[in-house]
Chains A and B, each alone.
Chain A
Amino acid sequence: MVSILKRYALAALALLTVSGPAQAQDTINIGVSEPLTGAVAASGNYVVQGAKIAEDEINASGGVLGKKIKLIIEDNKSNPKEAVATAEKLIVGDKVPVMMGAWSSTYTLAVMPKLMEYGVPMVVETSSSGKITKSGNPWIFRISPTSEMEAKSFGTKVGDFGIKKADFLVVNNDWGRGAAKEFSKMLKEKDVEVGVIETMDAKATDLSAQLAKVKASGGDTLFITTGVEQLTLALKQAKEQQVKHKVITTGGSSSPDQLIAQAGAAANGSNHLLFFAPWFPETAPNPEVAKKFVAEWKKRGYNFAGLTEGFRGYDGIKTIVAGIKAAGKADPKAIQKALWGVKVKGVNGNIAFIKQGPEGKESGQNVPNVYIVTIKDGKISKL
């Protein structure tokens, strides 16, 4: 009985594998690994919404290489182990020639050995840890800024903020620790004293101990690096404990409108480093692209708060498709080669890759624009 069942199962499996590639003939599949559930789900969902806008726009204008593109979206569940599983599924199961992902630096770093193993390029849309482009993985093409770039860009504004002593509250992963390292390095170079660097588990909800320590440190500015969910908690709890620091968030994933909606008055006075300012699309380097994207986002009834995150998905898919087009075929190796030459007019700005990391196996890194906005009386203003 068992062996008959087993045979049926094998037959079904064989059918599945046979039907897989046949389907791939008329579309070019692009793999996407994002956190759609779990601790940072809001951001992952926004990125996917942006990616879908790019997918529809590209298909409406005839696709690429005469074929339609199809996003195969997998949920990495805000978990690095799951991120590896999604990459394995996308590359081995769906045979995608290129992918986009995986939001958090920790998930991206977890996926990277799989890219090496199977030889598939990945466009990194959000992660900012320096390690990603400096570890010698030639399959990585990152369009988001590194923490170092972000820190450098913020460096020109340190004077405006009048920072004397800064404290840090960062999520305890590659993203948070990387940001604390780069920003504190930059601040020290500008003779700003660095107080405490507090970390929090990505799933932690009670941050009272960390905030008590920040309060006692006596700094004037608190840099926070984490997803919007935890950021909401941090701002609310900082107000509860009367932490008087001026708050600056890094990483571009603060979705300020969501903060205003969920943290209320606690969000007032906070400053946010972003890579797209959807309130002022006319000031973007490619205003036409930005305006069109914002209009489409609104038309679909997506949450406006998600735009600061959603553009990453849009720019990521646009970059990938430009790579496929330049490669002339949907082949991983050809796309990898072609990505080095792409020039894309994205929502953030003009996307092109420079080399980073050890010679001979460099990763691609874009040089994006950075904006700072302030929340004042529940409204967003540009700095």
Chain B
Amino acid sequence: MDQLLQHFLNAMILGGTYALLGIGLTLIFGIMRVVNFTHGELYTFGAYMMFMFVMPLQTNFFLALLLAVMLGVALGALIEIMLLKPLRGADIDTTMLIMIGAWIAMQNMEQFVWSGIAKSINNPFPADPLVIGAVSVSWSRVFVFVVACALIAGTYALIQWTKLGKAMRATFQDTETAALMGVRINTVYIATFAIGSGLAAAAGALLGPIFVVYPTMGDMAALKSFAIVILGGLGSVGGATIGGFILAMMEELGAGYISSGYRDAMGFLLIIIILLFRPTGLFAQKERIG
């Protein structure tokens, strides 16, 4: 029983960051129809920014987090303006190839700047964990969970209740009609990519101090984000959030009670099963075609 509780607790904490990664990607995927291979690199970028601010520059931990996310947003906007804007109207394969190129270039750049050796980041939280009965969790993970939930809620609010969010939703449903109604599609695209990238950078900046930071850390994160997006349904923020938690729960329980060797396979197995019955994902929104 204690073990089960511990697994649940671990899954909740892990699920928060998975959800964060997932919603960033689902926005870009859903609204822009861009298969964003740089998502994992934005995650890595966030972690390295955190490392740079906290370790050599000795910036305050929380300020560093804010700066890392802001720089992630800026880098996202830059990628959109420099790489994606010239490709508007190009077919999905062309964009995909460009994004794969950007992914490899960014990963090698990280390796060039910070070398391949893993870096670790100090955090200001107490070393002793928070103990609740038989289960325990570190304070740094509690912090990550709280911030992740706040960011998810913030993104949801932005999409539901702001003018930009409305424009994003309109663009998602029908780009041409939205454009005819006066929605500035270019601005929506830049904002979407920047927000999505910022969320990935936030996940990296949050997890960097818990794990270690190295250039290829984004690969697994990207793979999981893609899985979460497919699981939740393209473009669905709610779906990606729930998808993130489901994936984390599957991994924890699968590793805990079946076999830890197949931990990463568990989540993907679930995705195969769900897609067999719901090919558009769990919470796919309707989009108008034609």
Contacts and interface: CB of A to CB of B under 8 A. Distances in A.
Interface stretch (B2-10, B24-32, B159-167, B276-284): B2-10
A33 to B, nearest CB: 15
Contacts of A172: 260-261
A172 B262 CA distance: 10
Chain B, interface SS category: helix
A41 B214 contact: yes
Contact of A209 (B7, B138, B207, B211): B7
A215 B6 CA distance: 10
A240 B3 contact: no
A229 interface: yes
Contact of B212 (A205, A208, A215): A205
B251 interface: yes
Interface in B94-151: 111, 115-118, 120, 127, 129, 131, 136-138, 141
B136 A240 contact: yes
B211 A208 contact: no
A29 interface: no
Interface in A216-248: 216, 229, 232-233, 239-242
B273 to A, nearest CB: 20
Contact of A229 (B111, B214, B219, B251): B214
A266 B123 CA distance: 14
A38 interface: yes
Interface string A157-169: 0000000000000
B129 A239 contact: yes
Interface string B27-50: 000000000000000000000000
Interface residues of A, number: 35
B72 to A, nearest CB: 19
A151 B214 CA distance: 32
B252 interface: yes
Contact of B14 (A41, A206, A242): A206
Interface in A245-294: 262, 264-266
A239 B10 CA distance: 14
A210 B255 contact: yes
Contacts of B117: 41-42, 45
Contact of B118 (A201, A210, A229): A229
Contacts of A36: 116
B255 A209 contact: yes
Contacts of B212: 205, 229, 232-233, 262
A37 B260 contact: no
B263 A209 contact: yes
A37 B117 CA distance: 7
B138 A216 contact: no
A343 B120 CA distance: 41
A13 interface: no
B260 A200 contact: yes
Nearest to A213: B256
Interface of B: 2-3, 6-7, 10, 13-14, 111, 115-118, 120, 127, 129, 131, 136-138, 141, 207, 211-212, 214-217, 219-220, 251-256, 259-261, 263-264
A208 B261 CA distance: 13
A201 B138 CA distance: 22
Interface string A38-63: 11011001000000000000000000
A198 interface: yes
A205 B217 contact: yes
A69 to B, nearest CB: 25
A240 B138 contact: yes
Given A212-B256, A213-B256, A242-B131, A41 B116 contact: yes
Interface string A64-75: 000000000001
Given A38-B216, A201-B263, A239-B127, A216 B116 contact: no
A37 B215 CA distance: 8
Which are the 10 A-B pairs with shortest beta-carbon distances? A37-B116, A209-B255, A240-B138, A41-B116, A216-B3, A208-B10, A205-B211, A212-B6, A199-B261, A262-B120
Contacts of A198: 260
A199 B127 CA distance: 26
A57 B29 CA distance: 56
B129 A241 contact: yes
A354 interface: no
A349 B219 CA distance: 41
A203 interface: yes
A359 B131 CA distance: 58
Contacts of B216: 37-39, 203
Contact of B136 (A45, A204, A242, A265): A242
Nearest to B6: A212
A75 B215 CA distance: 14
Contacts of B219: 203
A262 B117 CA distance: 13
A210 B136 contact: no
A212 B260 contact: no
